Amino acid sequence: MGKAEDTRQSIIEGAAVIFNKNGYQRTSMSMLSHSLGLTKGAIYGHFTDKDALAVEAFRHSISQVSRRVSESLTPHGSVLDKLHAFARTFVYFFEDTVREGGCPILNTAVDADDAHPLLHGEVRRVLTAWEGRLIAMVNAGKESGEIRPDTDSELFATTFIALVEGGILLAKTIGDRKYMERSVEGIDLLIKQMAVRRD
């Protein structure tokens, strides 16, 4: 990477945490400039406006989560094990998530909901992609004979995502990771239910 590209990337990474902690609406270019130790002009040299930077920062936050999930899945061969590991990622990285200001999907969905169509569209895209990834995993499990053919993969995907997001909300708000652990335990039960019994 060249120096300009380095600077651009470091602005995105720094802004991601600032946006996630303070909310996209409340974060001003002055705050970003102050926190990043750059002039506003330097930031505008890389991004046309706050919205453009907000979208890049959100994408960066999501790519971090995706990377963690992918790393958790790698050691596992079976679809069922991969699904358990997928859910478990959110327990494993719970403290990091809190330190970084909470789940970027949850924060951005609430913060950008009625006021920020570009960012709202990004959150919708990410949620739909997450849903699609889970549905594809369940369908792969049906094909490999691991998952019962009568499993409702859409129902599973929705409950999986809702339990992760609701679990983060509860655990972060009440300040106790046991709510995250219990939510993931709920997902584990759902996965066990759709498994083809080997006994």
Q: Which range of residues in 36-44, 46-54, 74-82, 154-162 is near its own copies by CB under 8 A?
A: 154-162
DSSP string for 179-195: HHHHHHHHHHHHHHHHB
Q: Which is nearer to its own copies, 144 or 173 (CB)?
A: 173
Cβ 126 to its own copies, closest distance in Å?
Answer: 10
Site string for its own copies, 74-113 (x = CB under 8 A): ---------------------------xx---xx-xxx-x
Cβ 121 to its own copies, closest distance in Å?
Answer: 10
**Non-local CB neighbours of 24 within 8 Å, separated by 6+ positions:** 54, 58, 108, 111, 112, 116, 119
Q: Which is nearer to its own copies, 9 or 35 (CB)?
A: 35
Token pair 């335990």 is at which residue?
185
Residue 76 in 3-state DSSP? coil
**Non-local CB neighbours of 151 within 8 Å, separated by 6+ positions:** 138, 142, 194
> Which of 114, 149, 197, 199 is close enough to bind its own copies by CB under 8 A?
114
Q: Which range of residues in 38-46, 70-78, 117-125, 140-148 is near its own copies by CB under 8 A?
A: 117-125
Q: What are phi and psi of 195, to 5 degrees?
A: -70, 140
183 lines the binding site for its own copies (CB under 8 A): yes
163 lines the binding site for its own copies (CB under 8 A): yes
Show contacts with its own copies in window 9-28 (CB under 8 A).
21-23, 25-26
Tokens standing for 60?
Answer: 């960066």
Q: Would you call 56 exposed, middle or buried from its count of C-beta atoms within 10 A (0-12, 13-18, 19+)?
A: buried
Cβ 133 to its own copies, closest distance in Å?
Answer: 15
Rounded Cα distance between 28 and 24, Å, is 8
Tokens standing for 137?
Answer: 């995993």
Interface residues with its own copies (CB under 8 A) are: 21-23, 25-26, 101-102, 106-107, 109-111, 113-115, 120, 123-124, 127-128, 154-155, 158-159, 161-167, 169-170, 172-175, 179, 182-183, 185-186, 190
